[in-house]
Structures are given as C-alpha cells and as structure tokens.
Chains A and B, each alone.
Chain A
Amino acid sequence: MTHTQKRILINDIVMALSTLSAIIGISFLLWILGILVTNGLEALSTTIFTAEGAPPGNGEGGLKHALIGQLILVSYAALFGVPLGILAGTYLSEYGLKSKMAETIRDISDIMMSAPSIVIGAFVYAIVVAPMGHFSGWAGSIALAIIMIPIILRTTDDMLQLVPSTLREAAFALGAPKYKVIIQVVYRGAKAGILTGVLLGVARVAGETAPLLFTSFNDNFLNTNMNEPMASLTVTIYNYATSPYEDWQQLGWAAAFILSMFILTLNIIGRLFLLKRKGR
C-alpha cells in the first residue's frame, strides 16, 4: 500500500467513525425526544388542564395546580431576576467597561452560570426556608432568580456592547445625559438581544428541578399563596415519575411534554429574534 493510499484509508476510517458517532449520539437524543412526544401526547387530555392533583388510582388527577404554580414561581423569579440582571449588565457594558472590577464580576458571574443549581437550593433553604420555618413559593422564586441573574447579566453585557459607540456619541453630542443615552439609545438598539437573553433565562430556570426540591417543595393541590409550599411542573414530574402508580406516571409524562414544549418554544423564539437582528 502506498503512503497516499494509507492516508486516504485512515481518512475514510476516521470520517466513518465520526459520522457513526454522530449518528449514535443523535439517535439517542431522538429516542428521548420521540418517547417524550409519544408518551406525552398519549397522556394529554383536557382534564390535565382543569383538574388538580388527585389521589392515585382513580385517574381523575390533572396538572392545573402544577401549571399555575410553575407560572407563578417563574414569573416572580423573572420579576426579580430580569431587572437586576439587566442593570448589572448595563453597569458592566456602559460604566465598568474593562476595569478590573467589571472583569471580576464577569468572571464570577460566568462561573455561577455553570455552578450546580442544587447548591443554590441549599443556600436559599438556609436564608429563607429555615428562618420562616416552612417551605414557600417565595423561597422557590428567589432560588430561580439567583440562577437567572448571571444569564441575563451576560447577554445584556454582550448585547449592549454590540451597539455601535457612534450612536452613543451622537446622543451625547445632542447634550443627552448618560442615563438618557443608555435608556433611549443603547437599550433601544439592543432590544432584540436583551429580549433573547430574557427568554433564554426564563427557559433555563423553567426547567430547574433541583433548587425547588427543598425551597418551594410541592403541593398536590392548587395554591396561589407564595407563603405556602407551591407545586411546580418539574418537581411534579419528579414525584409522579418516581411514584409506583401508573396514572401518576402518565401525568408525569404529560407534564414533561408540556414543560419541554414550553422551553423549546422559548428557545426557538429567542433564536428568531437574534436572526432578525442579524438580518437588519
């Protein structure tokens, strides 16, 4: 075999192996997705949206409590997390720039983005649940907000820096004070990007289970009082899936399907915003 033939052969082998591993990896992922869709669709019914949790066995249970609980938890988390994240990101991009302080905040916040979320749950347990003496919706939302802040901070920082400095200079030249430049010019220029960050941040925390296990805990019935334990889709999935009752497991699949579709939709919308921005 000549040297060239050998090289071509090795190349073919490596290419085949890469393609094969890509096929293996992707088929595993498709398998999971397929199961999620088939089981989820099978378990979906109108009672899911109208009935609360019920004792296992009679098949009358629904997910209304978890859907509403999830919505409340994530909304409050966004209410705290989004403004704090955007303002902190604004500081980094518009005031802190490349100062040592700003770089440190960027690095630490980046690390927090990948830190284990269950640890945030433990932290919130210590500062909220233990002093209050019981699990509560507030604790869950605070945990989610803490997870959301670094994500929004990072995208805001990146997106504001994409706004050309000539725009800022033009506004300054008209005599605008800095806060007006930021709010009326920079924010407006980075609107789509910031919105994408918010959507991705919300999508990320909507799928969090671990930090809710011992903060908002769970409730098998509808509760809208943030001072009480509150159901979420994710913890409901965990509890129902690990239960021995078939109708609860079915509800778990329905919850998993609804949650995944919600998160995928947010991700896709976020991407479309970014594409639109690039297209302009």
Chain B
Amino acid sequence: MNNIVDKIFANSTKFIAFGVLLLVAWIFAVLFEHSLESIKAFGFSFITDDKWAPNLEKFGALPAIYGSVVSTFLAMILAVPVAIGIAIFLSEIAHAKLKTPVGVSIELLAAIPSVIYGMWGLFYFVPIIRDTFGGVGISMLTAGIVLSIMILPFMAAVTRDAMNTTPDILKESAYALGGTKWDVIKDIIIPYAKAGIIGSFILALGRAIGETMAVTFVMGNVHKISTDLRDPATSIPVTLANEFAEADSELYYSSLFELSLLLLIISFTIISIAKFYFLRRKRVGA
C-alpha cells in the first residue's frame, strides 16, 4: 500500500515539475500560432515598418520597438549610477544601525506594484516634466524617468547583494594595507563581484523592458518615431496594454500576438544572458 502511494506521490510531483517546462513551451507555441497570420501578411517588414494603422490593417512594430529600446535605455542610464551609489552606501558607508532599516525599506519598495509608480508618474511627475521641458508632459522622457525609479529598488537591492558576496577577509586585508574605502571598492569589491553586479543590471534591464504599468500611464501610446524625447511615444507593452482589449480584426489581434511573442523572446534572451552568463545560481544548503 505504502509502495503504491509512494509511487503516486513521486510521479505526480515529477509530472507537475515537468509541467512547468511544458507550460513555457506551450506559451511560446500559442503565441507563435496566433502570430502566424501577421507573420504571413507582413513577414520581416513587421519589425522594420514604422506605420501602425489599425484602420488600414497595416501593422509595423518599429515605433513600439524603438520606444521600448529608448525608454529602457534612458531608465538604465539614470538608474545604474544611483543604484551603484545606494549599493555602495549600504554595503560600505552606512552605519550598521542604518544598514538594515534602509536596506529593508528598499527591498519593500521593490514590492510596491508598478501600477502605483505609474499613477504617481501621471499625477505628479508629468506636470513637472511639462513645466521644465515643455510639451504635454506625456512623453518618452517621462516614461524613461518613471521606469528608472520603478526599477531602482530592485536594482539597488541585487547590486548590494552582489557586492556583499565579497569575503570580509579580502576587504579587511586591503584596509590593513592602508586602502581607503574607495580603494577597497574599486580594487577589491568591484573586481570580485563584477559578474554579479553586471548580471544584476542585465536582470533589471530584462525586467524594465517588459514593464507595462509604470510606463503605460505616461507614454501616450503614439505610434510615431520621434527623436525629440519630449514627444509622446509607445513601447511594446504599452501598445499591448492599450490595444489588446479593443482589437477588432483577426489581423489586428495577430499583430498584437506577434508583439507579445517578440517581447517574450527579447526578455527571455536578456534574462537568460544575465542568469547563465553572469549569475551562476547559488545553491543553498548541501
């Protein structure tokens, strides 16, 4: 009796765990299947065409791709230095009594839903951008900044964790030789934790590119490529969030599914690079 139950339990856990792989494969397959019509209709020009006109049944994803790339790039440029600053502050400067509360609050802020960052952006940040830079305030620039603030807590927390992996004995040896804090950071911590730090940034990049709600509020969903950062723009997730529930033709749906597939492939690739190349998984326990 025990034998049978044992087998059933073992096999059902195995089946479910294997199911996770199947689920991921299924997601790719379903998205691909639903993109077929759009792939057939537009082929490769889907990602090179800059005209997105649902009323003309014409779908080119270039403005959305451009918006995703530019807003994420802006966010990274702004967030990386601040995240490094916070990580250095938390791992080397802050007094032990300050380390835990500040560190924990940053981790908690990473848990605040992105829709709230977006809402704050819409009501409080859009007017500031409008008054400082002109334009309507709903823009690529606003999206980049709000996105950078949204990924900041996550990025700072993982960068700090990466820096904290440096063994104390190495740091102490450098201090004993008369190194300043900066010497220790640049010659010990950064070389030691380089892969982890870069991996953290790439992981944050992977998250930022798929982030929807923080930018949907402030980007405007305008399918037009403009080099002026003060103009409204769109990105892949913003397009999906705004148009999916309203699409009214097969081809329109299919194009949106192709956008989803593109987004999934892009973020899967970025996150895989971070995971496999930079962050070897640390196993806990024996």
Binding site for B on A (CB under 8 A): 7-8, 10-11, 14-15, 17-22, 24-26, 28-29, 31-33, 35-36, 84, 87-92, 94-96, 101-102, 104-112, 114-123, 125-127, 135, 146, 149-150, 153, 158, 161-163, 165, 177-180, 182, 203-204, 206-210, 213-214, 217, 234, 237-238, 241-242, 249, 252-253, 256, 259-260, 263-264, 267-268, 271
Inter-chain contacts of B18 with A (CB < 8 A): 101, 105
Q: Apart from A107-B275, A114-B267, A268-B108, list 11 A-B contacts with CB within 8 A.
A: A14-B182, A18-B88, A22-B82, A91-B17, A108-B21, A115-B267, A122-B244, A122-B260, A182-B9, A213-B241, A241-B217
Known: A107-B281, A111-B271, A252-B119. A22 touches B241 (CB 8 A): no
- A213 adjacent to B112 (CB under 8 Å): no
* Chain B interface main SS type: helix
Q: Are B240 and A11 in contact (CB under 8 A)?
A: no
Option from B20, B21, B112, B124 in Cβ contact (under 8 Å) with A207: B112
Note all chain B residues with C-beta closer than 8 A to A21: 81-82, 84-86, 89
For window 108-167 of B, CB contacts with A under 8 Å fall at: 108-109, 111-120, 122-124, 149, 152-153, 156
Q: Is B245 an interface residue (CB 8 A)?
A: yes
Min Cβ gap A259→B in Å is: 6
Q: Among the listed A25, A33, A35, A102, which residue makes an inter-chain contact with B124, where contact means beta carbons less than 8 Å apart?
A: A35
- Give the contacts of B78-98 with A (CB-CB under 8 A): 81-86, 88-90, 92-93
B213 surroundings in chain A (CB, below 8 A): 209-210, 234, 238
Contact A104 B113 (CB under 8 A): no
How far apart are the CA atoms of A27 and B286 in the complex, in Å? 41
Report the minimal beta-carbon distance from A214 to chain B, rounded to whole angstroms.
4
On chain A, the residues within 8 Å of B271 by CB distance are 111, 114-115
Decide if B152 touches A29 in the complex (CB within 8 Å): yes
In chain B, positions 228-286 with a C-beta closer than 8 Å to chain A are: 237, 240-241, 244-245, 256-257, 260, 263-264, 267-268, 271-272, 275-276, 281, 283-286
The count of chain B contact residues (Cβ–Cβ below 8 Å) is 93
A25 touches B108 (CB 8 A): no
Residues of A within 8 A of B109 (CB): 29, 33
Contact assessment for A123 and B27 in the assembled complex, using a CB-CB cutoff below 8 Å:
yes
Q: Is B23 an interface residue (CB 8 A)?
A: yes
Closest chain B CB from A6 CB (angstroms): 11
Query: At the interface, is chain A mostly helix, strand, loop or mixed?
Result: helix
- Contact status of A122 and B256, CB under 8 A, knowing A11-B180, A91-B14: yes
Q: Closest residue of chain B to A240, judged by CB?
A: B119
A118's partner among B108, B260, B281, B284 (CB-CB below 8 A) is B260
Q: Are A214 and B210 also in contact (CB < 8 A) when A7-B180, A29-B153 are?
A: no
Distance of A31 Cα from B6 Cα, bound (Å) = 55
For the A-B complex, the count of residue pairs with Cβ-Cβ distances under 8 Å equals 272
CA distance A70 to B215 in the complex (A): 23
- Is B19 at the interface (CB under 8 A from chain A)? yes
* A-side contacts of B212, CB under 8 Å: 116-118, 209-210
Q: Is B17 a contact of A241 with CB atoms below 8 Å?
A: no
Specify which chain A residues have a CB less than 8 angstroms from the CB of B86 in the assembled complex.
18, 21-22, 25-26
How far is B284's CA from A158's CA once the two chains are assembled, in angstroms?
A: 6
In the bound complex, residues from chain A placing their C-beta under 8 Å from that of B19 are 84, 88
Q: Is the CB of A8 within 8 A of B180?
A: yes
Given A125-B244, A126-B257, A260-B116 contact (CB < 8 Å): yes
Chain B residues whose C-beta falls within 8 Å of the C-beta of A108 in the assembled complex: 20-21, 24
15 A-B contacts (beta carbon < 8 Å): A11-B183, A25-B156, A29-B106, A31-B124, A32-B149, A104-B21, A106-B281, A114-B203, A118-B263, A122-B240, A123-B30, A161-B283, A206-B113, A259-B113, A264-B108
Q: What is the distance, in angstroms, from B39's C-beta to the closest C-beta of chain A? A: 15
Q: In the assembled complex, which residues on chain B have CB atoms less than 8 Å from the CB atom of A118?
A: 210, 212, 237, 240-241, 260, 263
Cα of A102 to Cα of B2 in the assembled complex, Å: 25
Question: Whole-angstrom distance from the CB of A121 to the nearest CB of chain B?
Answer: 8
- Determine the distance from Cα of A217 to Cα of B244 in the docked complex, in whole angstroms: 11
In the complex, the answer to whether A146 meets B23 with C-beta atoms within 8 Å is yes
